[in-house]
Structure 1
Amino acid sequence: MLNYHFSLVLLFFFSFICCSFDKHGGGLLLPAFGMAQNTTIVHVGLVLDLEILAGKRSHASISMALDDFYASHPSYKTRLLIHSRDSKQDIIHAASAALDLMKNTQAQVIIGPYRSSQAEFIINIGNKIQVPVISFSATSPALAPERTPYFVRTTNNDSSQVAAISAFVKSFGWREVVLVYEDTSFGSGIIPYLVDVFQSIGAKVPYRSIISLSVNDDQLKEELYKLMAMQTRVFIVHMEPHLASRLFTKVNEVGMMEEGYVWIMTDVIGNMLDSLNSRSVEAMQGAVAMRSYMPRSEEMENFTRRWKARFRQENPISEPPEPTVFEARAYDTLWTLAMAVENATVSSSSFRKLPQGYNSTDLGGLSVSQNGPKLLEAILSTRFRGIAGDFVLVNGQLNSSVYEIVNVIGKAGRRIAFWTPELGIFKQLNSTSSVSLKTVIWPGDTTSLPKGWEMPRDKERKLKILVPVKNGFKEFVNIAFDNTTNRTTVTGYCIDVFEAVMQLLPYAVSYEYVPYPNAKGQIADNYTNMVLQVSSQFDAVVGDTTIIASRSKYVDFTLPYTESGVSMIVPVKAEKRNMWIFLTPLSSELWLWTLGLFLFIGLILCLIETRINPEFQGPPLQQLGMIFYFSFSILTFAHRERLVSNLSRIIVLLWVFVVLILTSAYTASLTSFLTVQPLEPTVTDVSELLKNNKIVGYQDGSYVADLLKGLGFKAYQLKNYSSLEQYIDALNKSEVAAIFDDIPSLKLFVSQNCANVAMAGKNIIGKIYKAAHIAMVGKTFKTGGFGFVFPLGSPLARDVSRAILSLTQSNKMTTIERKWFGDVTSCPHGGDDDPGLSNLKLQSFGGLFLITGVVTALTFFLHISHVLFSKQG
């Protein structure tokens, strides 16, 4: 009985102390009801920023949860005694408060601190002395329960939302994002996860904007102007709400909350949207935020009503805001701890001194908790339905993976979608709708989808486009410098194509041409060196630049706008005639069919005339000779035998007509072969050049030199030339055995030297015109064709590629090609399909032979019928 009265006195004493302390100034929190006899008191430390709104909100949740839990569980044999300390928004004060609680009050559990940056030291100490540290708000991935098992996170890890953010970015096709985050361990903790997840979807992070907590307004504006000058328009913001409010206020001032911009905020801001002041929310209009999903229920509505009353009670001069997910999780954390303490059958505080030599004056008095291991196990195994949803800890962290994506419109966030790891983004929970997102209202109060990338609006900022200075091949790029006006004029096929493409872009791009290496006449020494300038100083290269693999490691190419490949031009020599040239006009197949038809006609004539014509009668050998003689004598119209049968006369008349046509065609074709000098290339394959150690040429500054070295040519076998005229001179003077170049350059060569150029197919020597003395022969080595060059990851390369596709499918491209190259397709060339030099084929006389055969067979059938009819008569 005495013990019972003593317990009551103790309770009133603690209550008096509690009320006499400032509510947020290091006082005690006790349940507002009596305790049964033999109740075990478990000391718990609470470290919060009690002088700011976030700390006051959490304190209201903890105190209400303490009362609610023991009101619902009056028979529990344990009671939590909360010792609260103010961390004063400082890492040192937070650590000092935690040490005080562990050392002087022997707290068996620490709840808090509120910020991730304050938690690291406390977690390490708790891990050392086996005191669980439970945080409902420290979300940084840098705080890993895997490394410090006595750290329990009763909220989401920041890294759990990166997949939701990347899914949102991917759904709109944005390929570049800029990360904007505070310069703390909390701010940087999520960054590696974001970079990795964006890399997995093919999105790049060209810049990271790190904002110091001590940044002033001028410095903030300076950083925003830097962002505005960039091309990327998608920004991911990860920082504490108070710094985010400052940031978005300045974002509005500098004009970066207009149409075309995309602002995506992480859940640390999204979870606090409903509690931000109206000025901050107004500055964020059109932004999108991730937010941990809390299902709406009667319990949540009841919690909200009672929480506001508790907050007003503890903070009479403050208007109660709406509770956020952090207040709900603080409430659930206290319930978890109270259940775990009871289930673990924790005894009175029992600590064992650390071994001597623990090197710190303050830390030397710490002891190891004997209840820590079983208390930690009980906390991790606790499962229940909390205010914020199902409370399940997995690997020391809350297992909550449903996020809602909200659009900041009006006074708060409007939900536009949900996200889960299993389903990705979808419009409604438990819905099969194919629509994944509600309509988003972007900055600038528009529903038009931002491209995610735009040219900088600074009118003075122009793209610097490198163009190569050339000695020859000026049809592709020609740079003319006027010393009088000090102006540079750039023209050519590549320039016309580029300017036509830029006109097809959906936005205006300001640019200027910069000659490489300069405008004073110095020639571009190496195209690869020019391409490498893009990744460091310049924005693009426009010219006859070939797409090859080695260059693509450093820059991005557009789709090609010309044919691809490298071939070679070689001299041709007169083909030797042989003694059988008279057989050439007719194909072998035609010769065989003609001979067969001759014999067939002779045979039918003999069969018809034998009965009635003495000239066709005689021994079998004589008749056989008559068949050959009469058939072939018709070829020269030398037959003298008289024909008796009218059927025979019809056959001969038709056959004479066929022979007339055959001889006329044969005579014309033979005349062509005898009068046109046949030519053949001196070389037909690269292997011949390598085998005979021949010297070959290439265009000055071209990558073709590397290609030839890769094929096996030595450096001394290579000679460079800078114009088409030099090509012809080198071949005519036998300086080189062949010249290698891109197909587009060879097309230009063909158009300008049509009378002197012939074509031959791969490994096939075609018949070449009399005036020809050069041929393009051999294997075509595949390359990517000509393309425009941009820095790695430049979205402009994608837009220009799309415009190139549109241009190549229009008549505009044909017009540009004719302007600079002429009508190349009208240039005659040799080959197997050349009708002037090809031998005659059977197909050309197929119809004539068919008619002859049918008429001959029909007359023979009539003859047989007549003979049979006469015998019967």
Structure 2
Amino acid sequence: MTTAQALFRASTAALRRHGLLIVILLLLIGAYGVAAQGGGVVPPRRRRQVVDVGVILDTKTWVGNTSWTCMELALDDFYADASHARYRTRLKLHLRDTGPGAVDAASAGIDLLKNVRVQAIVGPQTSTQAKFLAELGNKSTVPIISFSADCPSRSGLTPYFIRTAWNDSSQAEAIASLVQKYNWREIVPVYEDDDDTNIKFIPDLIDALKQVDTRVSYRCKIHPSATEDDMKTAISNLKRNWTSVFVVRMSHTLAHKFFQLAKQEGMMSQGFVWITAYGLTDIFDVVGSPALDVMQGVLGVKPHVQDTVELQNFRQRWRRKYRLENPGTSLSELTVSGLYAYDTIWALALAAEKAGYVNSDFGPSLIKNASTDFDRIDTSKPAEKLRDALLKVNFLGISGKFHIENMQLVSSNYTIVNIVGQERREVGFWTPGSGISGSPKMKSDLNTIIWPGNNETAPRGWIFPTNKTLKIGMPVKPGFEEFVRFENGKATGFCVDVFEAVVKELSYEVPRRYLQFGDGEGSSNGTYDELVYETCKTISLHLFALKQNQTYFYVLLAEI
């Protein structure tokens, strides 16, 4: 056998042994050649397309810090769900920790739009921040989504500002229904003097109270930077009013100090009513026992969240993650805002897939030669598609049904809680159709409420001001001494006897003093109209109806 024949046989044997490998290599080389010539080879598993989403939070606050943890969990849970395994898109969150300032939040928004080219921004926590970012959203057609801020204006939300939280108007209606149930005719709002409350909540509350024939006699504003002396002055002004029903809405820190001072001034005692709006109701989750100690008997309203198995499991996982990421910090309970944050990310992930991924295509600004970053913000058609898809998302989230209507989450039932000891007791519910009830599913009476002063009897809604004496004007009328007369500095007569009998039946003390309206010679000093006129010049008048045995006696009472 020649040398050439030996080499041929060896090569043939090698081909037989490694033929399969050679074929595979040839196929791969061929495929590479096709791709190099411009042909498209679809891989067996396509990589998910990234949809960039900005997040603007103040993580130094409890709401911001816990909400970010909820968002991360939402992202993990969504893409770990087997039903989403074949999704073509994947959200990527870009956090900007801005603090509470509106300017810093706006700067972070511009950075996210220009440099990251996000297709949505989540998280402005306050209405002031939302006001700035909503303008950025309008200019860029990028949705600005908040789960904690109120709407930036009372006239309505902008087309690109979406609230994934309940409407404050429904909360105002729930509070008004509670006021109506106990027939309280006057209330005093006590609130932090900032945009969050002034712009929306207080006008909505006043409107809701008008519908149940209750008026707002006085407003107590507390500035965010109020000192202890400022708050003491405000509390003293409250004590000088007849009304003893207060609706409170403040930040956690300010409210905790306010209730401490109110307790010191004796205003957490019998006869007073304190109702906290949602947001402040979460103070017990944030502050814990110190808040409970100074808020005994307080009522609060908060969105009703069904305590499902899924929610219980989520709370456990949230606690583990929060402890791991925040070692050494005290752990309070998760707030409803955190649940809204979780559902918001879930909804955005659904909307991104429904909208279909399109590469970011921020177009040029309509303003040429712009001199500021704000003027040079581009527009984005993919972000607009994402917004449209988000408005159509409908699913059952951890916080309840997620459905956007009129640019905000559709609200439903509220829970009424009562602070007793070291716990919050659920004493009732409010539903849009049934109003106040002891059950969210059927009409029933509220559970027993323990009011301030450890009292089970509902307060009447007004209380005699401290250090006040009622002045009772008595006309001198010759010939009618049997009904009313003034002798030796003492008021007597049938009308006086009846009035005194009624006052003695009251459950509280009424300091009073009778004053004669006469000329000193046994005759009146003028007509009844003149009596009223002279009295009004020096004192403010109140007309009280004193009820005894179904008979009403109207007495002109004057406050010194």
Q: TM-score, normalised by structure 1?
A: 0.55
C-alpha distance in structure 2 between counterparts of 1:36 and 1:368, whole Å: 32
Q: CA deviation at 1:446?
A: 2.1
C-alpha contact (below 8 Å) 2:370/2:376 kept by paired residues: no
For 1:440, the equivalent position in structure 2 comes to 449
Aligned AA for 2:458?
L
Q: Distance in 1 between matches of 2:139 and 2:520?
A: 70
Say which of 205, 214, 223 aligns to 2:216.
205
Q: For the structure 1 residues 450 and 522, does the alpha-carbon distance in structure 2 shift closer, same or farther, using more than 3 Å as the test?
A: same
1:304 is aligned with what amino acid? Answer: R
Whether contact under 8 Å (2:62, 2:286) holds in the other structure is: no
Question: Separation in 1 of the partners of 2:552 and 2:170?
Answer: 45
For 1:52, the aligned partner's letter is T
Deviation of 1:367 (Å): 1.1
Deviations 1:350-396 (A, max 9, x none): 11222227986231221122223322110000011111111111111
Change (3 A) 1:473 1:354: farther
For 1:660, the equivalent position in structure 2 comes to none
Is the contact made by 2:289 and 2:422 (CA closer than 8 Å) also made in structure 1?
Answer: yes
Structure 2 residue aligned with 1:56, among 53, 61, 65? 65
CA pair 804-394 structure 1, distance change in 2 beyond 3 A: same
State whether residues 139 and 377 of structure 2, in contact with CA within 8 Å, keep that contact through their aligned partners in structure 1.
no
Contact 1:136–1:153 (CA under 8 A) maintained in structure 2: yes
**Structure 1 counterpart of 2:161:** 151
Tell me the equivalent position of 1:452: 461
More helix by share: 1
Q: Distance in 1 between matches of 2:104 and 2:500?
A: 63
Cα distance change, pair 194–143 in 1 and its aligned pair in 2 (3 A): closer
SS of the residue corresponding to residue 207 of structure 1 reads coil
**Cα distance in 2, alignment partners of residues 150 and 444 from structure 1:** 48
Deviation per CA, 1:550-609: give whole Å up to 9, x if none: xxxxxxxxxxxxxxxxxxxxxxxxxxxxxxxxxxxxxxxxxxxxxxxxxxxxxxxxxxxx
Does residue 386 of the first structure (1) align with residue 131 of the second (2)? Answer: no
Write out aligned runs for 1:755-794 (5 A).
790-791=542-543
Aligned position for 1:306: 317
User: Are the counterparts in 1 of residues 288 and 332 from structure 2 also a CA contact under 8 Å?
Assistant: no
SS of residue in 1 equivalent to 2:452: coil
* CA–CA distance in structure 1, aligned partners of residues 292 and 311 of structure 2: 24
8 A Cα contact 1:466 1:538, kept in partner: no
Q: Residue 512 of structure 2 aligns with which residue?
A: 511
Whether 2:141 is the aligned partner of 1:130: answer: yes
CA contact (8 A) 1:479 1:491 kept: yes
Structure-2 change in CA distance of 1:515 and 1:195 (3 Å)? farther
Q: Hey, what's the Cα distance between the residues in 2 that align with 1:57 and 1:143?
A: 28
Equivalent residues of 2:518, 2:524 under 8 A apart: yes
Contact 1:502 1:509 survives alignment (8 Å):
yes
Q: Is the 8 A contact 1:272 1:324 kept in 2?
A: no
1:531 offset after TM fit, Å? 3.3
Paired letter, 1:316: P
Aligned partner of 1:215 in structure 2 is: 226
2:548 is aligned with what amino acid?
A
CA displacement 1:212-232 (0-9 Å, x = unmatched)? 111111211221122122222
2:293 counterpart residue number? 282
Query: Once the 2 structures are TM-superposed, how far is the Cα of residue 92 of structure 1 from its aligned partner?
Result: 2.1
SS in 2 for 1:311: helix
Matched, 1:183 2:212: no
Question: Is the Cα–Cα contact under 8 Å of residues 142 and 186 in structure 1 kept in the other structure?
Answer: no
Gaps of 5+ in 2: 1-27, 29-43, 554-560
The residue number in structure 1 matching 2:436 is 425
Matched ranges for 1:352-367 at <5 A: 352-356=363-367, 361-367=372-378
Matched residue SS, 2:548: helix
- Aligned to 2:231, the other structure's residue is in SS state helix
Change (3 A) 1:179 1:335: same
Answer 1 or 2: higher relative contact order, Cα 8 Å, separation at least 6.
2
Match of 2:529 in 1: 528
Q: CA deviation at 1:471?
A: 6.7
Query: Per-residue CA shift, 1:265-285, capped at 9, x if unaligned?
Result: 111122443333211121111
What is the aligned partner in structure 1 of residue 469 from structure 2?
462
Distance of aligned partners of 1:464 and 1:132 in 2 relative to their CA distance in 1, 3 Å threshold: same
Q: 2:329 aligns with which of 318, 338, 347?
A: 318
Aligned residue type for 1:123: A
Report the Cα offset of residue 88 of structure 1: 1.0
Distance 1:519 1:259, change over 3 A: farther
Report what 2:502 is aligned to: 501
Map residues 158-173 of structure 1 onto 2, 5 A cutoff. 158-173=168-183
1:363 partner SS:
coil
Q: CA deviation at 1:328?
A: 1.0
Q: Is the 8 A contact 1:141 1:190 kept in 2?
A: no
Report matched runs for 1:750-829 at 5 Å. Answer: 790-791=542-543, 797-798=544-545, 800=546, 802-803=547-548, 805-806=550-551
Residue deviations 1:52-97, cap 9 Å, x none? 2221101101111112212222322222221111221222222222
Give 1:127 deviation, angstroms: 1.9
Q: Do the aligned residues in 2 keep the contact of 1:156 with 1:399 (CA within 8 Å)?
A: yes
Distance between the aligned counterparts of 1:807 and 1:122, measured in 2? Answer: 58
- Cα offset, 1:178, TM superposition: 1.3
The answer to whether the Cα contact below 8 Å between 1:463 and 1:539 also exists between their aligned partners in 2 is no
**Alpha-carbon offset, residue 537 of structure 1:** 4.5
CA contact (8 A) 1:116 1:143 kept: no
Q: 1:405 aligns with which of 400, 404, 416?
A: 416
Is the 1:232–1:452 Cα contact (8 Å) retained in structure 2? yes
Contact conserved, 1:57 with 1:311, CA < 8 A, in 2?
yes
In structure 2, the CA distance between the partners of 1:203 and 1:312, relative to structure 1 (3 Å rule), is same
Looking at structure 2, the residues matched to 195 and 506 of structure 1 have their Cα atoms a distance apart, in angstroms, of 31
Q: Quick check: 1:140–1:158 contact (8 Å CA) kept in 2?
A: no
Corresponding residue for residue 75 of structure 1: 86
Superposed, 1:692-731 pairs within 5 Å as none
Q: CA deviation at 1:139?
A: 3.2
1:465/1:539 contact within 8 Å kept: no
1:12-63 Cα shifts (integer Å, max 9, x gaps):
xxxxxxxxxxxxxxxxxxxxxxx96453222211111112222110110111
The answer to whether the 8 Å contact 2:57/2:95 transfers is yes
- Whole-angstrom distance in 2 between the partners of 1:536 and 1:300: 63
Is contact 1:112-1:135 (8 Å) kept? Answer: yes
Partner of 1:330: 341
Determine if the alignment matches structure 1 residue 192 to structure 2 residue 199: no
User: Which amino acid in 2 is paired with 1:313?
Assistant: L
Which residues of structure 1 form unaligned runs of 5+?
2-34, 483-487, 541-789, 792-796, 809-873
1:142 to partner: Cα distance: 3.5
Q: Tell me: CA distance 1:537–1:175, structure 2 relative to 1, closer, same or farther (3 Å).
A: farther
User: Any idea what SS the aligned residue of 2:529 has?
Assistant: helix
Aligned residue identity for 1:317: G
Aligned to 1:608: none
Q: Secondary structure at the match of 2:219?
A: strand
How many residue pairs were aligned? 508
Identity %: 38
Q: Distance in 2 between matches of 1:532 and 1:320?
A: 62
1:269 matched to 2:269? The reply is no
Q: Is the 8 A contact 1:259 1:446 kept in 2?
A: yes
Q: Deviations over 1:703-746 (max 9, x none)?
A: xxxxxxxxxxxxxxxxxxxxxxxxxxxxxxxxxxxxxxxxxxxx
Q: CA deviation at 1:437?
A: 0.5
**CA contact under 8 A between 2:167 and 2:410: conserved in structure 1?**
no
Q: Give secondary structure in 2 for the equivalent of 1:407.
A: strand
Q: Aligned equivalents of 1:447 and 1:371: distance in 2? A: 58
Name the aligned partner's letter for residue 182 of structure 1: E
Structure with higher Rg: it is 1
Corresponding residue SS for 2:424: strand
Query: What are the equivalent positions in structure 2 for 1:335-354 lying under 5 Å apart?
Result: 335-354=346-365
Deviation at 1:150, TM superposition (A): 0.9
In the alignment, which residue of structure 1 is the partner of 2:40?
A: none
